[in-house]
Amino acid sequence: MTKGSLARLYQKYELRNSQVSAYIRQILSGLNYLHERKVVHRDINCANILVDANGFVKLADFRLAKATALNDIKSCKETPYLMAPEIIFIFLNLLSDCIVYR
């Protein structure tokens, strides 16, 4: 049985600090596991993190995941509204040779 996504839990309940801490540890452990195997998830957000009835976290939605060398993650595949600002700036710098005419 599942509790649902972390997004749903966050909307429905007030999570205790101890719960948040446990979830974060599990998420980071899962990401570490993926990165050790040269897999980049590329769409981590609360809707893609599932929590079961025992409080165990599972990473979900690997449609945008990519098996790659970790230093080769310059393709833009993340959920745009959830992309970190520093990532957006990387792509803006890559496009800096574009000329805009008015």
Q: Mind telling me the catalytic residues? A: 43
CB atoms within 10 A of CB 15: 14
Amino acid at 8: R
CB atoms within 10 A of CB 23: 20
The vertex-80 CA angle with 7 and 32, nearest 5°, equals 65
